[in-house]
Structure 1
Amino acid sequence: MSKKKEILYHVIFWLLFVGLEQLLRSITIDKNLNTTWSILQNLGFVSLELLIFYINYLFICPKTIPNKKWRLLIVAQFGLLILFPAIRFFYEEIILFKIIGYHNYDMRDLTSVYYIYDNSYYSIRIMLFSLVGYFMKYLWNTSAQVNQLTLEKKQAELLALKNQLSPHFLFNSLNGFYSDLYDTNPKVADDIMKLSEMLRYVTYESENDMVLLKDEVVFLQNYIDLFKRRFDGGVAVTFTHPHDTGMYKIPSLLLIHFLENAFKHGITDDFDSPVTISIKTEAGRLIFTTTNKYRVTQSYDEHGIGNKNISQRLSIMYPENHSLVLEQDAQYYNVTLNIPLS
């Protein structure tokens, strides 16, 4: 849902909600009430409804519903149930009383329990409206994102079919080259085997949304080895990763984008400042970092298509539960990715 459309829906809702509420007040309100007090009380009450609605809609719901933190959501609703009458009491019975000299409730017999109970209708009502509004927005956006991903996947599959050369032919050919060179030129044979493994991984594993972290690590290592081979070992790069990654899974072909960028834009022949790639697993999360020195004349495009696609993919898969930080100073470019492990 676009921001303009969302704002329009909110304006329509509040015009109808406040309009009907004011119509009801005009029918039921005591005509003998002080007019100034009535106007100020009404303005404060509507402002309080707006405040509670958007605290729930803009802060509580986005932090709890996408991450399925239902206990925290329930606790927060009870908090709003107390906050509503607390603010109303402070405004009407303290501030307005000092200004107008008029109480809304009989203060002699008023208790906090009764005041909260008497206001529960208004507080629960506005909380429910905000919850329903957020759920509608969340379902709308989720449906749109799923449809967009489905469309992009179908387009990618169609493009792959148009450009497809039988993978079995490629793998069999590479395996044949490997066998021919195994005895005479083992280094080249080893490179051919790595290339075959990479092609197999890209061809088959990319069809899956999630892959084993250990397979992704092997894929990155093979990529680095072939890149070094291409430049006769004159590549300054360090790659650290845990030796035991268990059965953790991550989105397929997620990390290669950042590795390619580091090699493409970074200075790869400076052994005093090598390209650094690091993978860590901590508390059920993946922390992936790349650091590379770059030439002053070469600047990264942080808003390029690749980064946008990665950010969109992460937002869909891990809403409110990931971080992707891209930092650039005068000499170095740093990427830090933090996502939950499956």
Structure 2
Amino acid sequence: MSKKKEIQYHAIFWILFVGLEQLLKSITIYKDLDTTWSILQNVGFLLLELLIFYCNYLLICPKTIPNKKWRLLIVAQFGLIILFPAIRFVYEEVILFKITGYHNYDVRDLNPLYYIYDNSYYSIRILLFSLVGYFMKYLWNTNAQVNRLIVEKKHAELQALKNQLSPHFLFNSLNGFYSDLYDTNPEVAADILKLSEMLRYVTYESENDMVLLKDEMLFLQNYIDLFKRRFDGKIAITFTYPNNLYAYKIPSLLLIHFLENAFKHGITDDYDNPIIIEVKTEAGRLIFTAANKYGVTQSYDEHGIGNKNISQRLNILYPENHSMDIEQNAKYYKVTLTIPLS
């Protein structure tokens, strides 16, 4: 849902809500709507409702509902139910009383428990409106993201069909080259095997939304080995990752973009300042770091298309549950990606 459309819906809601509420008050309760106290009370009460509504809608719901933190959501709702009468009491029974000399409640009814109970109708009502509004927005955006992913996937499949050369033909050819060179040139044979494994991984494993983390690490290692081979091993890079990856899963082909960027823009022959690719797992989360120096004449744009695509993909897969921090100066670039492990 676009911001403009969201604002329009909210404006319509508040016009109807305030209009109906004031109409009901004028008919049933308030006969002196022109008095100073009544005007100030109505304005203050509306501002309080807006405060509680958007505190829940903009702060609490986005931090809890997408991450399924239901206990925190429930605790926060109870907190707002208490916050509502607390603010109302200060405004109406303290501030307005000093201005107008009138109380809203009889002094004998200003027992804290009774005051919270008597205001619970208004606080719960506005919280329910904010929850329903956020859930509608969340479902709207989720459906839009799913539809966009489906369209993008279909487009990618169509492009793959247009450009496809039979993978079996390539695999069989590479395996044939490997067999021919195994005895006479084992180094080249090993490189061909790595290339075959990479091609197989990109062709088949990338069809899955999630892949084993250990397979992704092997893919990156093969990429690095072939890149080193291309430059006769004169590549300054350190690649570290834990051995105990078990059955962790991550989105397929998520990390190769950062490795390609490091090779494309980084200084690859400075052994005092090598390219650093580091993978760690902590508390069920993956922490991926890529850092490198680059020449002052290089154009290293952290806002490039590749990073935008990665950010968009992460926002769809892990809304409010990931981070991609970029540090950059005139000669140094570092990106740190943190995502939950499946």
Give the TM-score band, short-chain normalised.
over 0.9
Question: TM-score, normalized by length of structure 2?
Answer: 0.98
Match in the other structure for 1:338: 338
Residues 1:266 and 1:32: Cα distance change in structure 2 (over 3 Å)? closer
Give the match for residue 307 of structure 2: 307
Match of 1:37 in 2: 37
Quick one: distance in 2 between partners of 1:109 and 1:158? 71
User: Does 2:161 align with 1:161?
Assistant: yes
Instruction: Identify the residue that residue 91 of structure 2 maps to in structure 1.
Output: 91
Structure-1 separation of matches of 2:244 and 2:279: 12
Contact 2:32 2:38 in 1 (8 A): no
Partner of 1:242: 242
| Sequence identity (%) | 83
Q: What SS is found at the alignment partner of 2:204?
A: helix
Q: Tell me how far 1:70 sits from its aligned partner.
A: 0.7
Instruction: Give the Cα–Cα distance (whole angstroms) in 2 for the partners of residues 39 and 23 of structure 1.
Output: 14
Distance 1:256 1:304, change over 3 A: same
Does the CA contact (< 8 Å) of 2:206 and 2:252 recur in 1? Answer: yes
Q: Deviations over 1:35-70 (max 9, x none)?
A: 101110100000000000000000000000001111
Structure 1 residue runs of 4+, over 4 Å off?
none
In structure 2, what is the equivalent of residue 28 of structure 1? Answer: 28
CA distance in 1, matches of 2:42, 2:311: 45
Partners of 1:70 and 1:96 in 2: CA distance: 37
Q: CA 1:30–1:7 in structure 2 vs 1: closer, same or farther (change >3 Å)?
A: closer
Aligned equivalent of 1:292: 292
Instruction: Please tell me whether residue 108 in structure 1 is matched to residue 108 in structure 2.
Output: yes
SS in 1 for 2:108: coil
Match of 2:326, SS state, is strand
Partner of 2:122: 122
The residue type equivalent to 2:206 in the other structure is: S
Q: Deviations over 1:21-41 (max 9, x none)?
A: 111122223435781011101
- Any gaps of 5 or more consecutive residues in structure 2? none
Partner of 2:182: 182
TM-score (norm 1): 0.98
Q: C-alpha root-mean-square deviation of aligned residues, in Å?
A: 1.0
Measured in 1, the distance between the counterparts of 2:32 and 2:78 equals 35
Q: Write the deviation string for residues 230-267 of structure 1: whole angstroms up to 9, x where unpaired.
A: 01111111001101211100000000000000100111
Deviations 1:173-219 (A, max 9, x none): 00100011111111100100000000000000010000000000000
CA distance in 2, matches of 1:58, 1:114: 29
1:320 corresponding residue in structure 2: 320
Give the C-alpha shift of residue 20 in structure 1: 1.1
Is contact 2:228-2:234 (8 Å) kept?
yes
**Helix, strand or coil for the counterpart of 1:320?**
coil
Deviation readout 1:272-292 (Å, 9 max, x if unpaired): 111000000111110000000
Q: 3-state DSSP class of the match of 1:108?
A: helix
Q: Do the aligned partners of residues 32 and 129 (structure 1) sit closer, same or farther apart at CA in structure 2, a change above 3 Å counting?
A: closer
